[in-house]
Every structure is written in C-alpha cells, then in structure tokens.
Amino acid sequence: MTESHTPRDPATPRAPLSADRAESIFTDYKPALTRDQAITEANRCLFCTDAPCVQACPTHIDIPQFIRKIATGNDEGSARTIFSSNILGMTCARVCPVEVLCVGDCVYNDKGEPPIQIGKLQRYATDLAFEKGTQFFEAGPDTGKSVGLVGAGPASLAAAHRLRRLGHRVTIYEKRRVVGGLNTTGVAPHKLRADASLEEVDWVLAIGGIDVRTGVSIGTDLSFEELEKRHDAVFVGAGLGADTLLDAPGSQLANIEGAVAWIERMKLEKLDVSGFQHCVVVGGGNTALDVVREARTLGIPKVTLLYRGHEAGMSGYEHEWESAKVQGVGAAWRLQPIGFEADVGAGKSVAGVKCVRLDETKKAIPGTEHVVPCDLVLLAIGQSTLGSLLASLPGVALEKGRVVTDEQGRTGRRGLFAGGDCRNGGKEVVNAVAEGDTAALAIDAYLKGNSHG
C-alpha cells in the first residue's frame, strides 16, 4: 500500500531504538541454562500424561514433548513444539510468571522435590532457534481475504502470525512508532529488554506478508469505519490505556508520574535519575513490584512501596516482592495517599506524599494523617481502559471498559474480534498470545463462511 492509496493513513516508519536507553544497564535476573544444565534438567522431567504444567499454560504448549526433545538433542524440534503453540515463546520463556503457571503446577511440587524449570528450558530451546534464525512456518496459500489488526502488541502479533499461516492478508496498525506493545515498552528489562522484543517481532514478521503501519492511531488517524471498510475482518488488540492518576491536591507537581509511562521512558530513552534520593511507588500490583526494582537498579538510594492494604493482600506476585526486598526496597502498608506536598524552594516539585492510615476495612483512621517525604512519586494504581475506542460501534458491548467477546474472541459486531489486555482487563503476555491465536482461528472460520463472526 502507498500513501496515495490511503490518504487518511499517515503511517510513519518504525523508530529505531536509541543506544543510550536507561534500560541497557539491566542484566537478566534469571541467567540462561548451559547445555549441561538444560540436559540434566530435561532428563528430570517425567514426561507426564495430561500434564498439569500444560493445563496451566494458557497457550497449552506441549511441555513434556519439548522438554524430551531437549533431552534427546532434538533442539530444533523442541523449538518447533513451543512455537507451534506460542509464537512468542521466546518472550514468554523470560516474562511468564511461571511460578504461578506451569512451574507452579509441576507434579514435582507434590513430590516435595524442586519443580522442573520449564521457563528456563523453554528459553534454552527458543534461544537456540533464534541464534540460528530458524523459521518454522510459512504463509498459507493466499485466500484473498484481508484482516486489519489494531495494535502491534502480543495479542495482535500472535493473531497476525496465525492468520498468515492460514493464508490471509494482514495489516497491523500501531499508534506508536515502536512495535511489540508492552513487551517493548513495559516489561521489566531484567526479564526482557526492548531490543530483544523488537528482534522477536522481526522474527515473527519474517513469515512475510504482514504489513505493519506504525504511527497510525485507529480512531484518530483512521476511523474504525474506514478500517472495517478496508478489511474483511478486524481484530482489536489495543491493550490498556494510560496510567490511572490520583486526583488529589498537589497532583500537578513535577516528579509525580504514572508508572507505566515512566517505565516506557526508561525502556526507550535516556533517563537521568541521579538527583533523586527517595522514590515512593504507590500500588501493590505487579507493575508496582516491577517499578520499585527498576528504580533501585537505576540507582535511586531509597525506594518505598506504599500500599493501602497489608503485605499479604497485595495483588502482585509474592515471588516478585521477595526479589524486590532482596534489592533493598522498603514498604509502608495500609497507607492511602490523600495529597502531595511541594518542595519548600520553588514549590514546583513533589517533596512528600500526604497519607492517612487505613483500618482493616480500608477506612481512614482519623488523626493518622502524615507526610512521607520523597522526591519522586510513581503511581502504579492501574491503567485505564481503551474501551471508549469502540464505545460508538453498534453491537460492541463493554464491561468496565473491557471489550466483551465470547470464548473465541468474537464481539457482538460482525467481523470484529478482540483479544489481549483490552479483552481480559490486563493479564499476562501469554494470555494475550493465547487470545490472539484463538481469535485468529475464529476469524479464519468467519472468513471461510463457517461462522457468523
């Protein structure tokens, strides 16, 4: 497609990554397995039938089979098994919370022995395939049908790849000038850096025939109606919206920022944090637990997690909090921010979070107001939804901002499908991949006229 062909589609090319990104000082916190380690570990796997680890994986990778293939030295076959269920298997091997997914359900837990390190074995096999540049899949014979996908995150990438294997033409519209979605802009760099994410996107795109149009925001640069006109089916994988911010006195002060926005800057830009002495992160979810560690690693001397519940009540994973504590992150429990204090000098930057203590029922306890001094506040209290993007479309139902679909990813509108964070309200990369893949199969059935869509 050319610009003249698409007058209202001002695509701008993908932006290269800058070399001095703040994230580049991060190293893998779970180092790769050596060949010996991988083979020893692979030989421990029992090759279970109807394995609980497979059931726990949203993309249902045949884990015993890929592990056995590592044990026999069939490394390429191992990667093929992984990628045929999960095309972002390289990322997932690094970013999946395996402790609560496959590894958490490995039968060895019940035997009282260390569970199989499935994520590390998956990384072993997928890294080898990446090093060799092996491509396992090819595009199916052209069906003449075309699908437009909104967003270039994990959900759309998985859907696009599956659709290409099935022979459909695919165009991805991405509002940013970088692709990969939160894999590139959000995931903690000690798990996956932006360059690795982009490398993976290129590998996925190598199947050929996926047109990626960056710098095009659907709803702004190109209307939904126009999108639907251009394509035979549309998949929405737009993720979530911007950070939720606190509407409290002083919230306009400098150095108060949404955590996801700050992480994006850290991952894509040079970020000077040398002046900060104490960073307060508000929240108790996984974004909060990522950002406290990131702030510490970048060198902020004191980092405090400020949460309105108690330690055990955090929605973030226990294993992530344990790692954060090891990095010297402190915590303040049962505190509700009610405002921000300005610095005494210019009065423009934040100098403290005004808090009130909460009781068991999360009610403020009068007389407990106090200020936690700090010079950087990162708000990790949630992301807004992008539901409004679709709100005007007849037939599309929203629930708390999430796009409502059936199990296959079909919305109530003909030819419109959705998956990933915008559908599930914000889960993991692997859920987005699973939903994108499932929706692609539903789209295929729809395009072949086997389903109402």
Partner 1 sequence: MVEPSNGTKKNVSPSLVSNTGGIVSPNPFWLASAPPANSGGQVQRAFDAGWGGAVWKTLGQPIQNVSSRFGGMHAKGVRGVGFNNIELITDRPLETNFREIYDTKKKYPKHAVIVSLMVETREEWKDIIKRSIDTGADGLELNFGCPHGMCERGMGSAVGQEPKVNQEITSWAVEYSSIPVLVKLTPNVSDIRPHGMAAKRGGAHGVSLINTIKSIIGVDIDSFAIEPRVQNLGTNGGYCGQAVRPIALHMCASLAREEGFGLPISGIGGVCNWRDAVEFILLGSSSVQVCTEVMLRGYRIVEDMNEGLTQYMRDHGFATIDEMVGKAVPNYSEWGDLDLNYETIAKIDPDKCIGCNLCMTACHDGAHQCIHPASTKPGWDGKSRVPVVDESECVGCNLCQIVCPVSGCITMEEVPNGFAPATWNQHVETGAQLRPKKGAH
Ligand X SMILES: Cc1cc2nc3c(=O)[nH]c(=O)nc-3n(C[C@H](O)[C@H](O)[C@H](O)COP(=O)(O)OP(=O)(O)OC[C@H]3O[C@@H](n4cnc5c(N)ncnc54)[C@H](O)[C@@H]3O)c2cc1C
- Residue 147 amino acid letter: V
Q: How is residue 191 written in tokens? A: 């798990």
Is 120 a binding residue for partner 1 by CB under 8 A? The answer is: no
Is 96 a binding residue for ligand X by CB under 6 A? The answer is: yes
Interface with ligand X in residues 209-248 (CB under 6 A): 217-219, 237-239
Interface with ligand X in residues 132-191 (CB under 6 A): 150-156, 173-176, 181-183, 186-188, 191
Is 451 a binding residue for partner 1 by CB under 8 A? The answer is: no
Q: Which of 6, 24, 77, 104 binds partner 1 (CB under 8 A)?
A: 77
Q: How far apart are CA 368 and CA 18, in angstroms?
A: 46
Task: Give the DSSP letter string of 11-56.
Answer: --PPPPPPTT-GGGG---SSPPPPHHHHHHHHHH----TT-HHHHH
Q: Which is nearer to partner 1, 104 or 167 (CB)?
A: 167
Q: Which is nearer to partner 1, 38 or 306 (CB)?
A: 38
Write down the least CB distance from residue 83 to ligand X, Å. Answer: 17
Q: Which is nearer to ligand SF4, 68 or 145 (CB)?
A: 68
Q: Are the C-beta atoms of 369 and 341 separated by less than 8 Å?
A: no
Q: Which long-range contacts (CB under 8 A, 24 or more apart) does 61-68 make?
A: 61/85, 61/86, 61/89, 61/122, 63/102, 63/118, 66/121, 66/122, 66/125, 67/42, 67/116, 67/118, 67/121, 68/42
Interface with partner 1 in residues 43-62 (CB under 8 A): 43, 47, 49
Residue 36 binding partner per list ligand SF4, ligand X, partner 1, none, with a CB distance cut-off of 5 to 8 Å that depends on partner kind: partner 1
Q: Are the C-beta atoms of 431 and 409 separated by less than 8 Å?
A: no
Q: Are the C-beta atoms of 62 and 85 separated by less than 8 Å?
A: yes
> E strand or H helix at 399, and its extent?
strand 398-399
3-state secondary structure of 247: coil
Write down the least CB distance from residue 108 to ligand SF4, Å. Answer: 6
Q: Which is nearer to ligand SF4, 101 or 381 (CB)?
A: 101
Residue 263 binding partner per list ligand X, partner 1, ligand SF4, none, with a CB distance cut-off of 5 to 8 Å that depends on partner kind: ligand X
For residue 380, give Cα distances in angstroms to 242, 260, 286, 322, 346. 11, 7, 9, 18, 27
Q: How far apart are CA 336 and CA 338, in angstroms?
A: 6
Interface with partner 1 in residues 190-249 (CB under 8 A): 206-208
Residue 4 binding partner per list ligand SF4, partner 1, ligand X, none, with a CB distance cut-off of 5 to 8 Å that depends on partner kind: none
Write the secondary structure of 260-306 as one string of H (helix), E (strand) and C (coil).
HHHHHHHHHCCCCCCCCCEEEEECCCHHHHHHHHHHHHCCCCEEEEE
Q: How far apart are CA 147 and CA 164, in angstroms?
A: 10
Is 80 a binding residue for partner 1 by CB under 8 A? The answer is: yes
> E strand or H helix at 202, and its extent?
helix 194-205
Is 135 a binding residue for partner 1 by CB under 8 A? The answer is: yes
Give me the count of residues in the chain: 453
Interface residue list for ligand SF4 (CB under 6 A):
45-48, 51-53, 63-64, 106-108, 116, 118
Q: Which is nearer to ligand X, 63 or 260 (CB)?
A: 260
Q: Which is nearer to ligand SF4, 117 or 156 (CB)?
A: 117
Q: How is residue 435 written in tokens? A: 């939903």
Is 427 a binding residue for partner 1 by CB under 8 A? The answer is: no
Write down the least CB distance from residue 112 to ligand SF4, Å. Answer: 13
* Contacting residues toward partner 1, per CB under 8 A: 35-36, 43, 47, 49, 65, 68-69, 71-74, 76-77, 80, 132-139, 206-208
* Contacting residues toward ligand X, per CB under 6 A: 95-96, 150-156, 173-176, 181-183, 186-188, 191, 217-219, 237-239, 260, 263, 287, 290, 386, 389, 420-422, 427-430, 432
